[in-house]
Amino acid sequence: MKRHLKFEVMNQVSTLNRITSAFVRLQYNIEELHVKKRDDNPNISDMELIVNIEDEDVLNILLNKLQQQINVLNVEQYSA
């Protein structure tokens, strides 16, 4: 099942690497990735990912791991 994830992240070096590493560790591929710096705050970026994760438990584990990342301010799943 395709999952759409939205992140608010600090616009810092290695933020993208930390996020993608969480997917690598769980052996899930990122199908789409979009990142855009905010106009109102250049220190924060909005990131959207589309991933194919069938298992709801794995998704919850992944979301918890991502929320614990130091440069991640918010993570949510939404319907496209």
Q: Tell me the CATH number at 66.
A: 3.30.70.260
Structural domain count, the chain: 1
Bridge-based pairing of strands 2-10 and 72-78 is antiparallel
For residue 78, the model assigns a pLDDT of 83
| pLDDT-derived band at 28, boundaries 50, 70, 90 | very high
Residue 80 has pLDDT above 90, yes or no: no
Q: How open is the CA angle 72-33-12, to the nearest 5 degrees? A: 35
Name the residue among 20, 38, 40 with its Cα closest to residue 30.
20
Among 48, 77, 42, residue whose Cα is nearest residue 62: 77
Mean pLDDT of the chain: 94
Does the predicted model carry a pTM greater than 0.75? yes
SS3 content of the chain, % helix, strand, coil (to 5): 30, 40, 30
Q: Which domain holds residue 63?
A: 1-76
Extract the tokens encoding 2.
């395709």
Residue found by looking up tokens 């319907």 in the block? 79
* pLDDT tens track for 55-71: 999 999 999 999 999 99
